[in-house]
Amino acid sequence: MKTFSYIWRMAMRRKAACILVVISTMIMTIFMLFYPSLIDNTRKRLKETYDGITVTGSIISNEQESVPLIPGSLWKEMEESGYFRQLYGISDFNVRIFPKEILEEKTGAKPSGQRENIIFQSLLSQFETRDSGGLEGSMKAYNTFQAEDELVRIRDDIQWLEGYDESCLEGKERICILSEDLGYALGDTVPFLASVWVGQNKVEGIFHLKVVGTYPGKITGVSCGMPLKTMKELTETANQVHKQNGAYYEWEFCVDEIYFTVGDNQQLEKIKAGMIEQGLLSSESSKLFQIHMDDRILKEAVGPIESNLAQLEGSYLFFFLMITAIGFFVSFLQIRGRKTEYGVMRMLGESRMQITLKAILEQFVFCLGGVILGAAAVGFVKTESFQPAICAVILLCYTLGAAAAAALTVRVDVMDILRDKE
């Protein structure tokens, strides 16, 4: 109690100095309590910027190559990576298709019921080398309806088999959509003759798809759509048959084009690193296909915000160090002018340690008063900004500075004081 009574008397004797300590620590407390919210607001603005910009990319076959060279394994890795919000894949291969009327005329049978008929399949193979009215074209495979603009363009014109819609391309059922001009009705099963070059070997095969969607319009050649998973399954089935027949080559499932949208832009650099680790950006693959990621707008937008955030976060520690320095200099100036008082206290029997502790306690009490006032003001204006831990650190930093000042100045030699008095 005597100590606190002494501090009170000193405070009354040096009101201006004490008020200075209280006000300065109060201001520092208010600033340091609001500072984290400034950082949080910058982080929030950075996240909003990241979320508000769409980063897209693409992987396409090398322009110098005439066949798809994006391996199916790469497509699988991208699907399983979890890096992408949207992932579109397109693949195609050459097929021959026959309008329903011509096919029935040539075979004398309905194509839907001839899946396992070897004679029927043989006839289809022969049609490839004859002017039989068959149409050469491409069979395109998609993982989703939105994978190609052409599909989206004819969306409203497509007639769907009951129970089917755009989502059918996301599955692996053996289905297709094709032009009404071919004469097939919804629910019909259409035979396709595929011819694929695997290295120096020409691979041929018949496969059947059920028509679940038709669209009107003239076509030059044939352009049909099927699920990408179905195409993958067909290649795997074909490879099994080839192996059983002693073939030494495989028809590898490949993709012509991949388009993607990055899921989390804040993880963009991590995504790039992950793509490299998974072989998506390997030097070996780059010879076969080209990858492009358009993140220029994102970088231009977030660059200044990230720089500002880095400065704010880097300055946080600096401000605490500054509080320590302020505590040192304020205490040093106050204690320095009280050497005579400390000399008298030494003559009355108090040790240097006792005097030092009193000096530190005095500054601590004044600082505590300022911190309490600052915290109260912040809590009144913005309750969520009040953080007791920050108040404790401010008090600690200031007290450490005051302790250093006291240790340097309260080294009083009584004889020196008496000499100065004379």
Q: CA-CA distance, 350 to 419, in Å (whole number)?
A: 20
Question: Looking at residue 286, what is its pLDDT?
Answer: 53
| pTM for the predicted model, two decimal places | 0.65
Q: CA-CA distance, 395 to 369, in Å (whole number)?
A: 10
pLDDT tens-place string over residues 279-289 = 555 544 455 66
pLDDT tens-place string over residues 370-409 = 878 888 887 777 766 667 777 787 777 777 777 777 777 6
- Amino acid letter for position 205: G
Strands 201-215 and 175-179: parallel
Give the pLDDT band of residue 213 (cuts 50, 70, 90): very high
Would you kindly state where each structural domain of the chain is located, as residue ranges? 2-46+302-421, 86-258
% of the chain surpassing 70 pLDDT = 68
Question: Looking at residue 283, what is its pLDDT?
Answer: 45
**Sign of the dihedral through C-alpha 411, 415, 416, 417:** positive
pLDDT tens-place string over residues 74-129 = 888 888 878 888 899 998 888 878 778 777 776 665 655 554 554 455 555 555 54
pLDDT tens-place string over residues 345-366 = 666 666 777 777 777 777 777 7
Structure tokens at 183: 């004469």
Question: Looking at residue 119, what is its pLDDT?
Answer: 47
Question: In terms of Cα–Cα distance, which of 401, 378, 404, 406 is closest to 391?
Answer: 378
Q: CA-CA distance, 185 to 188, in Å (whole number)?
A: 6
Question: Looking at residue 175, what is its pLDDT?
Answer: 93
Q: CA-CA distance, 276 to 286, in Å (whole number)?
A: 11
Task: Indicate if the pLDDT at residue 2 is higher than 60.
Answer: no
Mean pLDDT of 153-181: 90
Residues 132, 170 contacting (CB under 8 angstroms): no
Task: Indicate if the pLDDT at residue 228 is higher than 60.
Answer: yes
What integer best gives the mean pLDDT of the chain?
75
Q: CA-CA distance, 229 to 171, in Å (whole number)?
A: 6
Question: Looking at residue 369, what is its pLDDT?
Answer: 79
Question: Looking at residue 99, what is its pLDDT?
Answer: 79
Which long-range contacts does 120-126 make (Cβ < 8 Å, 24+ apart)?
120/191, 121/191, 121/206, 124/96, 124/98, 124/191, 124/193, 124/206, 125/193, 125/204, 125/206
> Range with the lowest mean pLDDT among 91-105, 290-304, 309-323, 339-353?
339-353
pLDDT tens-place string over residues 4-39 = 565 555 555 566 667 777 788 788 878 877 888 888
Question: Looking at residue 164, what is its pLDDT?
Answer: 93
Question: In terms of Cα–Cα distance, which of 324, 322, 340, 321 is closest to 409?
Answer: 340
Task: Name the more confident of 258 and 82.
Answer: 258
- Amino acid letter for position 328: F
Task: Name the more confident of 73 and 199.
Answer: 73
